[in-house]
Amino acid sequence: MTHRPQRPTRTIKRAASVAGGLLLVAAGLTACSSSNDSAPTSTTSPSISASATTGSAFYAPPKPLPAAAPGTLIRSVRVTGVPGVPAGATVWRILFHSTTIYGADTAESGYVIAPSAAAPADGYPVIAWAHGTSGFSAPCAPSLFTNSGGGSGPYLLPSLDRYLQAGYVVAAADYQGLGVADGVHPYLLGSSEGRAVLDATRAAGHLQGLHTADSVIIYGHSQGGHAALFAAEMAPTYAPDLHVLGVVAAAPATGLSTLIAIIGTPAGSQFMPFSIPTAYSWTQTYTDLPTAEVFTPTGEQFAAAQVTNGCGDQLSRQIAEQHLTPAQTFPVSAESDPNVLAHARSNDPGSILTSMPMLVVQGTADGTVPPPLTDVYVTTKACPIHDKIEYLHVTGATHGSVVFVAAPAIISWMNARLAGKKAPTTCGQPGNVATLTP
């Protein structure tokens, strides 16, 4: 189900053509991934133990939760021995205030990693990192530093060492419902993800002993690419205190409304590991989306039992073992239900102008989020509304490898934004895209 980013080991032929790839569009609508990097030895703060279990005191917020502004730090603890973190870097696990899509105060978790080098006079610039799919419930949080996402170790920012060497602090949100037990994680629900990304970044600025600048660049991959695009759209109004210089989205999940058009058809069968948790979490989050509008009784029973039952690929295994089909899971009416479609469209990024420059990178050999999907987002959404977007096809990169292959180009783009250089755009070029050949 999930596809952790993997360092490339060989050249892969170009993915399906745009025409043929349109048949794959729904594959990437909810596509996601995890990173590479196993359980840490946790340290303790004077007041609380940092435990690698969701039942630990760290992930249990005060009850009642004292009112505080979004991004206010509730608690933090330093964590040592996290595989994949370079020697000398400092890791914090954080708990902070955020808000639900309805504006209610809520506690969320995440982590922050700072480089070993001393901070510049004006502080470290911050990467607001948005991760791909790790699961749909509390035990699947990346800040637990386990392999809950289905990979060989903790889910960290891919090529983390490169970004730390470049002088960036990484502020990473788990998202609502991951880490802190708060119902079902609102999966691919953009305004929920966006709040988490922005508030984790705010919380990083409150850590004692960490000097951050007011310069922020948002970066996400797969589900996190979806989160990053929404965070960027929301930043001027939700977090005007953050100086967001740009947003990077690698193989982002886009076009969720297209998924609805095939959700109950045979063509939707291979996408059920994504469509089921998306639909189920939306019915558990939106107060005006009854479960019966999206699921058959069989589908509802399966989703309620399995979506939050584990992390990684467990849902895919259950779908296969139970031989579940789209027709058994989703009513035909869901494909044309105006309420369902309205919610899907509201979670399509690109409906409003993004005020800061954008970099979108897409592997040409990506079979999870196929290039035609991202092409459609750029060509029919971003460019027409005059987003300042640079779109790069990364030759031979897969869904998992693109974040490694493109890392030098991403860092160069980030550094240019910090330096105040004019951001390039590919809108108006043939296909509104440029090619990056590693």
Taking the C-alpha atoms of residue 306 and residue 32, their distance in angstroms, rounded to an integer, is 18
In a domain, 15, yes or no: no
* CATH number, domain containing residue 406: 3.40.50.1820
Taking the C-alpha atoms of residue 7 and residue 9, their distance in angstroms, rounded to an integer, is 6
In a domain, 239, yes or no: yes
Torsion of CA 156, 149, 107, 255, to 10 degrees: 90
Instruction: Kindly tell me the sign of the dihedral angle through the C-alpha atoms of 148, 154, 155, 158.
Output: negative
Do 60 and 127 fall into the same domain? Answer: yes
Query: What pLDDT is attached to residue 8?
Result: 57
Query: What pLDDT is attached to residue 149?
Result: 57
Do 312 and 373 fall into the same domain? Answer: no
Do 90 and 129 fall into the same domain? Answer: yes
- Residue 110 buriedness (CB in 10 A; 0-12 / 13-18 / 19+): buried
Taking the C-alpha atoms of residue 148 and residue 146, their distance in angstroms, rounded to an integer, is 6
pLDDT tens, per residue, the chain with 438 residues:
345 576 654 332 323 333 333 333 333 333 343 333 322 233 333 333 343 333 478 999 999 999 999 999 999 999 999 999 999 999 999 999 999 999 999 999 999 999 999 999 999 999 999 999 999 999 999 999 987 656 667 999 999 999 999 999 999 999 999 999 989 999 999 999 999 999 999 999 999 999 999 999 999 999 999 999 999 999 999 999 999 999 999 999 998 888 778 888 888 887 899 899 999 999 999 999 999 999 999 999 999 999 999 898 889 999 999 999 999 999 989 988 999 999 999 999 999 999 999 999 999 999 889 899 999 999 999 999 999 999 999 999 999 999 999 999 999 999 999 999 999 999 999 999 999 998
Taking the C-alpha atoms of residue 347 and residue 226, their distance in angstroms, rounded to an integer, is 9
Among 335, 365, 389, which residue terminates a domain? 335
Do 210 and 120 fall into the same domain? Answer: yes
Among 311, 335, 359, which residue terminates a domain? 335
Taking the C-alpha atoms of residue 231 and residue 241, their distance in angstroms, rounded to an integer, is 14
Query: What pLDDT is attached to residue 6?
Result: 63
Do 243 and 330 fall into the same domain? Answer: no
Closest CA to 376 of 425, 336, 335, 433: 433
Q: Tell me which DSSP letter residue 144 carries.
A: G
CB 211 within 8 A of CB 119: yes
In a domain, 13, yes or no: no
Do 273 and 364 fall into the same domain? Answer: no
Query: What pLDDT is attached to residue 19?
Result: 30
In a domain, 171, yes or no: yes
Do 164 and 285 fall into the same domain? Answer: no
Residues of the domain holding 311: 269-335
In a domain, 198, yes or no: yes
Backbone phi, psi, residue 267, to 5°: -65, -20
In a domain, 17, yes or no: no
Query: What pLDDT is attached to residue 151?
Result: 63
- Answering whether pTM is above 0.75, one says yes
Q: Tell me which DSSP letter residue 52 carries.
A: S
Do 120 and 152 fall into the same domain? Answer: yes
Instruction: Kindly tell me the sign of the dihedral angle through the C-alpha atoms of 410, 412, 414, 417.
Output: negative
Token code pair at residue 170 = 């990484």
Do 290 and 214 fall into the same domain? Answer: no
Number of domains in the chain: 2
Do 306 and 409 fall into the same domain? Answer: no
Q: How many CB atoms lie within 10 A of CB 428?
A: 7
Do 251 and 304 fall into the same domain? Answer: no
AA identity, residue 43: T
Among 302, 335, 368, which residue terminates a domain? 335
AA identity, residue 9: T
Do 241 and 273 fall into the same domain? Answer: no
In a domain, 32, yes or no: no
Taking the C-alpha atoms of residue 308 and residue 181, their distance in angstroms, rounded to an integer, is 11
